[in-house]
Amino acid sequence: MVVLKAASPPVPSVNKINNGFPCSNGTIKPLITPSPSSFINLDQGDPEVFRAYWRKKSEECTVVINGEDLMSYLSDTSNVCWFMLPELREAIQRLHRVVGNASAGIDKHIVVGTGSTQLFQAALFALSPSDSPIPINVVAASPYYSEYKDEVEILRSGLYRWGGDAREYDKNEEYIEVVTAPNNPCGSIRRAVANCEGEGKVIHDLAYYWPQYTPVTQQYDHDLMLFTFSKCTGHAGSRIGWAIVKDIEVARKMTRFIHMSSIGVSKESQTRVAKIIGVICDSYQEIGSSLDPDELFFEYSRRKLRERWEKLRAVVDKSNLFSLAKYPKAYCTFTNHTSESYPAFAWMKCKGSIEDCESYLRNLKVLVRGGKRFGVDQKYARVSLLSSDDVFNEFLTRISNATRNRE
């Protein structure tokens, strides 16, 4: 029997939990508290920021899997995505109904993948013409997600190739445009911008279109939309993403790609994700009772990110070294309130004579991702706000000290 939990077992003391994170065998792996002389990694968007919430929900999110369970490759042969568990499909549809960020009804086809990275490759495969003598161009407006270019080029596919900045694309050839909303790295809401004579297809990457990061202003109903559980709840290790697809033939081709690359997706992960989604949705059905707002995941996570942004802006406002993007307020149909965005990443720009923001922060022993990776100049850098509290607070200390040292 395997018992999967969203966070820690209830046995360890509070002090032990606060100084480490739980392993599946019930032990506690110590956290390494950053010292002033150590490097801190804010390059990757590893979502440690939500761990405390799921620690409180540990028992509610427990999943028991017996030894004989989930042994078959098959899940639902009546579905286009035959390796997706029916309970996961129902959970995904329910989640989108609760949040209202995307249309995922019975007229849509849901394809599950090992994270949205696999689904991105599957979408490129499905949208690429199979009879073209040249690869189709894949474009995205800068600053674009740093991994798009590498993901397009890594297989050296004869079906597709990297075509660069969508705003500059002017070829009379077919193309696929990737639209990321909210955008990674800068947090802005994007729309397709390619303006050329060639026929275009669009992949909408909506990994961060959840109410903790941005106001949900509308229910999207695009032809192909990508989501990932790691950005929705912070469970990056479960490696589950899903695509919502209108065209059944596109969904079949995406399913074929996943079949050929991994023969489906882990059912243990699917089971865990369905359970956690159910816990989130159940809590919103209890609104109006005595439920503490911090018991609601999106309220908790939005407050957590808002607090981090307020602290970061306070430090940067006193600084003569950096500037941050500003976001307009918008009405959120999920919260029924007007608010600004609290992106998962800070898109920082160095001021004055600092030409390379990534290198400057590296001298402070802060690892970030430089603007060149996103198709812009090196005065910009992406800084993750999803780290643990200790790492985030150490980052604030270092940029505060840097400001004082240059005065």
Q: Note the pLDDT of residue 198.
A: 80
Structural domain total, the chain: 2
Co-location of 267 and 370 in the same domain: no
CATH number at residue 84: 3.40.640.10
CATH number at residue 362: 3.90.1150.10
Question: DSSP class of residue 164?
Answer: E
Residue 270, domain extent: 64-283
Residue 24, in any domain of the structure: no
Question: DSSP class of residue 66?
Answer: -
Q: Note the pLDDT of residue 197.
A: 81
Q: Note the pLDDT of residue 17.
A: 38
Q: Note the pLDDT of residue 149.
A: 97
In which residue ranges of the chain is pLDDT below 50? 7-19
Co-location of 53 and 75 in the same domain: no
Contact present, 91 and 202 (Cβ < 8 Å): no
Co-location of 312 and 253 in the same domain: no
Q: Note the pLDDT of residue 6.
A: 52
Contact present, 173 and 137 (Cβ < 8 Å): yes
Question: How many CA within 13 A on the CB side of residue 84?
Answer: 28
Co-location of 101 and 243 in the same domain: yes
Q: Say if strands 136-140 and 160-165 run parallel, antiparallel, or are unpaired.
A: parallel
Q: 49: which 2 tokens?
A: 């920021």
Co-location of 226 and 332 in the same domain: no
Per residue in 273-324, pLDDT (tens digit) is: 999 999 999 999 876 555 677 789 999 999 999 999 999 999 999 988 999 9
